[in-house]
Amino acid sequence: MLEKLKGLVDSFGLPRTIITSFFVFVCLLAVFLGIPFLPLISDMVVRLGMNGIMVLAMVPAILAGIGLNFGLPLGVLCGLIGMLTAIEMNLTGFPSFWMSLVIAIPLAVVCGIGYGWLLNKVKGSEMMVATYVGFSAVSLMNIGWILLPYTNLELKWPIGQGLRTTVNIEGRMKWVLNSWGRIQIGSFHISLGLLLFLAFWCLLVWLFLRSKTGLAMKAVGASRQFAVASGLNVDKYRIIGATLSTVLGAVGIAAYAQSFGFLQLYDAPMFYGFGAVAAVLIGGATVRRANISHVIIGTFLFQGLLVVSLPVANLIMTGGNMAEITRITISNGVILYALTQVSGGQ
């Protein structure tokens, strides 16, 4: 019996098992405490759509053999620049959102190629280097936010120089996806726009992974020697993986920000990578293996847990920032666990 249970846990993944049990436990507690459950579920679905694409960004990086993309902030910064520029151009509604992507994606492609090139120089310690690439890019952009020649007063501090730490995008691109195709049934609501947007990018990634190039990229990640023996240029496919991941990071922050309602500049992007990494790991991915179902399951579990634990924690113990503490504990714990599972060498 115990053997069987162990086998089941092994095949399901330890982090996924723990988080799932915890999630179920907190959900039961919420029902028990009489917290209205339907709004919570609505919230979970919104959070899935909000965060899903940033988590999806992990898939190409993992499959290309780069590992968990801790350098996600690089893509996030590209996305932020896209959105800021769209506001600077005084666009509103969907046009502002699409313009953000039109600007952000080419930028992310350029950054991604450079990022991939750098990661090719440090094979074997990509994750460590990627983390610091993310940190450095964020720090560099701290200067950038001060110096970039944006003139729109919604973006700039009223006095002095530089952009605000938090830019309100109310009336710009806020909720363009969330409000499109929004269905409200009693206290339960669901926004088709947001979910379709996520589904669209998942589909693109899925199609890519079934293309000749996608398969080659997977082979490079699965076994570098094998790929070389099949005549592939390993470095090229790793750059493709890094670039895709960066682009998805840029698109991901746009989806996130339009739902959140604010653009957070300066140090805020620094830790976006960790949340995304934790989510994909909770979904059952490892540093060598990931697929789209891991993204969906992981994002739902991780974000769902955060959504439910907030009201529960507030009821049980007042004061303190329980949701934040849960988020950081879980994300760091899961990342730590995953990194201990990396077997040395290739």
Partner 1 sequence: MGEFVLEMQNVSKSYYGTQVLKNVSIAVKPGEIHAILGENGAGKSTLMNILFGMSVIHSTGGFEGEVRLGGEAVAIKSPMQAMELGIGMVHQEFMLIPGFSIVENIKLNREILKDNIVSRVFGEKMKGLDHNSMAKDAKAALNTVGLTIDEWARVAGLPVGHMQFVEIAREIDKENIRLLVFDEPTAVLTENEAANLLATMRKLADSGIAILFITHRLDEVMEVADNVTILRDGALVSTLRKQDTSVVRMAELMVGREIETMAREKGSEMGQDSTILSIRDLHVRMPGEEIRGVSLEVKRGEIFGIGGLSGQGKIGIANGIMGLYPATGEVLLNGEKLELNNTKGSLARGLAFVSEDRRGVGLMLDSSIEENIAFTAMQVKNKFVRKYGPFSQVAQGEMRQHALAMIKELDIRCRGPLQATRRLSGGNQQKVCIARALTLDPIVLFVSEPTRGIDVGAKRLVLETLVKLNKEFGMTIVMTSSELAEIRSVCDRIAIISKGQVEGILAPDASDADYGLMMSGDFAKARREGVV
> Measured between alpha carbons, how far is 140 from 277 in angstroms, rounded to an integer?
23
Short-list 251, 294, 243, 301, CA closest to 272: 251
Provide the 3-class DSSP secondary structure of residue 168: strand
Count of residues near partner 1 by CB under 8 A:
20
User: With respect to partner 1, which residue has the nearer C-beta, 214 or 298?
Assistant: 214
Select the span of 49-57, 110-118, 227-235, 321-329 touching partner 1 (CB under 8 A): 227-235
Q: What are the φ/ψ torsions at residue 114 (nearest 5 degrees)?
A: -65, -40
For position 216 contacting partner 1 by CB under 8 A, the verdict is yes
Which 151-210 residues touch partner 1, going by CB under 8 A? 207, 210
Single out the residue of 34, 158, 160, 231 in contact with partner 1 (rule: CB under 8 A): 231
User: With respect to partner 1, which residue has the nearer C-beta, 169 or 220?
Assistant: 220
Least spacing, CB of residue 226 vs partner 1, in Å: 5
Least spacing, CB of residue 343 vs partner 1, in Å: 13
For position 117 contacting partner 1 by CB under 8 A, the verdict is no
Which 263-292 residues touch partner 1, going by CB under 8 A? 288-289
Select the span of 106-114, 142-150, 226-234, 293-301 touching partner 1 (CB under 8 A): 226-234
Single out the residue of 24, 31, 122, 228 in contact with partner 1 (rule: CB under 8 A): 228
Least spacing, CB of residue 171 vs partner 1, in Å: 38
Provide the 3-class DSSP secondary structure of residue 276: helix
User: With respect to partner 1, which residue has the nearer C-beta, 156 or 288?
Assistant: 288
- Pairing type for strands 182-185 and 188-191 reads antiparallel
| Joined tokens for residue 35 | 């917290």
User: With respect to partner 1, which residue has the nearer C-beta, 33 or 207?
Assistant: 207
Q: N- to C-terminal Cα distance for the chain? A: 35
For position 212 contacting partner 1 by CB under 8 A, the verdict is yes
Least spacing, CB of residue 276 vs partner 1, in Å: 23
Question: Which DSSP category does 183 fall into?
Answer: E
Q: What is the CA radius of gyration of the chain?
A: 20
| Joined tokens for residue 58 | 């992990």
User: With respect to partner 1, which residue has the nearer C-beta, 190 or 222?
Assistant: 222
User: With respect to partner 1, which residue has the nearer C-beta, 99 or 240?
Assistant: 240
For position 240 contacting partner 1 by CB under 8 A, the verdict is no
Question: Which DSSP category does 156 fall into?
Answer: B
Give me the sign of the Cα torsion angle 334, 243, 260, 48: negative
Q: Indicate the angle between helix axes 234-260 and 72-88, nearest 10 degrees.
A: 50
User: With respect to partner 1, which residue has the nearer C-beta, 247 or 253?
Assistant: 247
Select the span of 168-176, 213-221, 290-298, 312-320 touching partner 1 (CB under 8 A): 213-221
Single out the residue of 179, 211, 293, 329 in contact with partner 1 (rule: CB under 8 A): 211
Buried b (16+ CB within 10 A) or exposed e, 88-100: eeebeeeebbebb
> Measured between alpha carbons, how far is 175 from 193 in angstroms, rounded to an integer?
10
> Measured between alpha carbons, how far is 333 from 124 in angstroms, rounded to an integer?
23
Provide the 3-class DSSP secondary structure of residue 191: strand
User: With respect to partner 1, which residue has the nearer C-beta, 4 or 212?
Assistant: 212
Single out the residue of 190, 192, 196, 232 in contact with partner 1 (rule: CB under 8 A): 232
Contact 15, 281 (CB under 8 A): yes
User: With respect to partner 1, which residue has the nearer C-beta, 221 or 249?
Assistant: 221
> Measured between alpha carbons, how far is 23 from 2 in angstroms, rounded to an integer?
23
Select the span of 15-23, 175-183, 189-197, 221-229 touching partner 1 (CB under 8 A): 221-229
Question: Footprint of partner 1 on this chain (CB under 8 A)?
Answer: 207, 210-213, 215-216, 218-219, 222-223, 225-226, 228-232, 288-289
